[in-house]
Amino acid sequence: MKKIVIAGDHGAVDLKSRIIAFLEKKNFEVTDLGTHGSDAVDYPDMALAACNEFKKGGYEFGILLCGTGIGVSISANKIKGIRCALLGDLFSAEMAKAHNNANFIAFGGRIKYAVPVEAMIEKFMETTFAGDRHERRIAKMMAIEKQC
Protein backbone atom coordinates (compact mmCIF):
# COMPACT_ATOMS: atom_id res chain seq x y z
CA MET A 1 0.00 0.00 0.00
CA LYS A 2 1.30 3.46 -0.89
CA LYS A 3 1.92 5.82 2.01
CA ILE A 4 1.57 9.58 2.37
CA VAL A 5 2.42 11.77 5.34
CA ILE A 6 0.26 14.80 6.09
CA ALA A 7 0.39 17.59 8.66
CA GLY A 8 -1.15 20.99 9.10
CA ASP A 9 -1.87 23.75 11.54
CA HIS A 10 -5.17 24.93 13.00
CA GLY A 11 -5.94 26.92 9.83
CA ALA A 12 -6.52 23.79 7.75
CA VAL A 13 -8.03 21.09 9.99
CA ASP A 14 -11.17 20.70 7.87
CA LEU A 15 -9.22 20.57 4.61
CA LYS A 16 -6.85 17.98 6.09
CA SER A 17 -9.82 15.77 6.99
CA ARG A 18 -11.16 16.06 3.44
CA ILE A 19 -7.79 15.19 1.94
CA ILE A 20 -7.33 12.18 4.21
CA ALA A 21 -10.79 10.85 3.28
CA PHE A 22 -9.94 11.31 -0.41
CA LEU A 23 -6.59 9.52 -0.09
CA GLU A 24 -8.03 6.65 1.91
CA LYS A 25 -10.67 6.12 -0.82
CA LYS A 26 -7.72 5.80 -3.21
CA ASN A 27 -6.27 3.08 -0.92
CA PHE A 28 -3.39 5.15 0.44
CA GLU A 29 -2.14 4.66 3.97
CA VAL A 30 -2.05 8.13 5.53
CA THR A 31 0.20 9.07 8.44
CA ASP A 32 -1.57 12.05 10.01
CA LEU A 33 0.73 14.09 12.24
CA GLY A 34 -1.98 16.57 13.22
CA THR A 35 -3.12 18.98 14.25
CA HIS A 36 -6.60 17.72 15.00
CA GLY A 37 -8.34 20.71 16.53
CA SER A 38 -8.66 24.47 16.59
CA ASP A 39 -6.00 25.10 19.24
CA ALA A 40 -3.21 27.14 17.68
CA VAL A 41 -0.03 25.34 16.65
CA ASP A 42 2.92 26.75 14.74
CA TYR A 43 3.14 25.73 11.09
CA PRO A 44 6.96 25.52 11.05
CA ASP A 45 6.72 22.80 13.72
CA MET A 46 4.18 20.87 11.66
CA ALA A 47 6.29 21.15 8.50
CA LEU A 48 9.39 19.98 10.34
CA ALA A 49 7.59 16.98 11.85
CA ALA A 50 6.16 15.87 8.49
CA CYS A 51 9.44 16.35 6.61
CA ASN A 52 11.40 14.44 9.23
CA GLU A 53 8.86 11.61 9.05
CA PHE A 54 9.06 11.61 5.24
CA LYS A 55 12.85 11.40 5.34
CA LYS A 56 12.61 8.13 7.30
CA GLY A 57 11.51 6.61 3.98
CA GLY A 58 8.61 4.64 2.61
CA TYR A 59 6.40 7.58 1.61
CA GLU A 60 5.29 8.50 -1.90
CA PHE A 61 5.14 12.19 -0.96
CA GLY A 62 3.87 14.50 1.75
CA ILE A 63 1.15 17.10 2.08
CA LEU A 64 1.41 20.22 4.24
CA LEU A 65 -1.32 22.63 5.18
CA CYS A 66 -1.75 25.95 6.93
CA GLY A 67 -4.09 28.89 6.47
CA THR A 68 -2.56 29.87 3.12
CA GLY A 69 -0.07 27.08 2.44
CA ILE A 70 2.65 29.71 2.16
CA GLY A 71 4.18 29.33 5.64
CA VAL A 72 4.37 25.55 5.56
CA SER A 73 5.86 25.50 2.07
CA ILE A 74 8.53 28.05 2.99
CA SER A 75 9.30 26.11 6.18
CA ALA A 76 9.51 22.77 4.38
CA ASN A 77 11.84 24.15 1.73
CA LYS A 78 14.35 25.04 4.46
CA ILE A 79 14.76 21.33 5.20
CA LYS A 80 17.52 19.47 3.38
CA GLY A 81 16.18 17.20 0.65
CA ILE A 82 12.68 18.67 0.54
CA ARG A 83 11.09 20.20 -2.53
CA CYS A 84 7.68 21.50 -1.53
CA ALA A 85 5.39 23.07 -4.13
CA LEU A 86 2.50 25.36 -3.22
CA LEU A 87 -0.27 24.33 -5.60
CA GLY A 88 -3.03 26.58 -6.86
CA ASP A 89 -4.36 24.91 -10.00
CA LEU A 90 -4.04 21.81 -12.17
CA PHE A 91 -1.13 23.19 -14.18
CA SER A 92 0.97 23.90 -11.07
CA ALA A 93 0.10 20.41 -9.79
CA GLU A 94 1.30 18.84 -13.02
CA MET A 95 4.48 20.91 -13.27
CA ALA A 96 5.36 20.36 -9.60
CA LYS A 97 5.81 16.69 -10.46
CA ALA A 98 6.78 16.77 -14.16
CA HIS A 99 9.48 19.44 -13.90
CA ASN A 100 10.40 19.73 -10.21
CA ASN A 101 9.72 16.20 -8.95
CA ALA A 102 8.35 17.75 -5.75
CA ASN A 103 8.22 15.44 -2.76
CA PHE A 104 5.78 17.65 -0.85
CA ILE A 105 2.78 19.69 -1.90
CA ALA A 106 1.08 22.40 0.12
CA PHE A 107 -2.37 23.94 0.33
CA GLY A 108 -4.17 26.61 2.34
CA GLY A 109 -7.20 25.80 4.43
CA ARG A 110 -8.45 29.38 4.15
CA ILE A 111 -7.99 29.64 0.37
CA LYS A 112 -10.97 29.47 -2.00
CA TYR A 113 -9.62 27.37 -4.85
CA ALA A 114 -11.24 27.45 -8.30
CA VAL A 115 -10.33 23.77 -8.68
CA PRO A 116 -10.95 21.25 -5.89
CA VAL A 117 -7.85 20.39 -3.90
CA GLU A 118 -8.59 16.71 -4.51
CA ALA A 119 -8.34 17.28 -8.28
CA MET A 120 -4.94 18.94 -7.83
CA ILE A 121 -3.71 16.04 -5.72
CA GLU A 122 -5.02 13.60 -8.34
CA LYS A 123 -3.19 15.50 -11.10
CA PHE A 124 0.03 15.50 -9.07
CA MET A 125 -0.26 11.75 -8.39
CA GLU A 126 -0.97 10.79 -12.01
CA THR A 127 1.90 12.87 -13.42
CA THR A 128 5.33 11.35 -13.88
CA PHE A 129 8.63 13.15 -13.59
CA ALA A 130 9.86 14.18 -17.05
CA GLY A 131 13.55 13.70 -16.22
CA ASP A 132 16.01 14.79 -18.92
CA ARG A 133 16.88 18.49 -18.63
CA HIS A 134 14.84 18.72 -15.43
CA GLU A 135 17.26 16.32 -13.69
CA ARG A 136 20.03 18.88 -14.23
CA ARG A 137 17.89 21.70 -12.88
CA ILE A 138 16.86 19.74 -9.80
CA ALA A 139 20.49 18.85 -9.14
CA LYS A 140 21.36 22.55 -9.27
CA MET A 141 18.42 23.38 -7.02
CA MET A 142 19.48 20.80 -4.44
CA ALA A 143 23.14 21.86 -4.65
CA ILE A 144 22.12 25.24 -3.25
CA GLU A 145 21.64 23.50 0.12
CA LYS A 146 25.37 22.78 0.21
CA GLN A 147 26.37 26.31 -0.80
CA CYS A 148 24.47 28.25 1.84
What single DSSP character describes residue 62? E
Tell me how far apart the 2 most distant CA atoms of the chain are, in Å.
Answer: 45
Please say if 84 is a catalytic residue: no
Measured N-to-C along each axis, helices 117-126 and 90-98 cross at an angle, to the nearest 10 degrees, of: 30
Please say if 10 is a catalytic residue: no
Rg (CA), the chain: 14
Query: Exactly one of 10, 36, 51, 66 is catalytic; which is it?
Result: 66
Residue 106 pairs with which residues in a beta bridge? Answer: 64, 86
Query: Exactly one of 51, 99, 134, 148 is catalytic; which is it?
Result: 99
With left for phi above 0 and alpha for psi between -120 and 50, is residue 114 left, alpha or beta? alpha
In order of 29, 82, 104, the CA distances from 59 in angstroms are 9, 13, 10
Q: Which residues are catalytic?
A: 66, 99
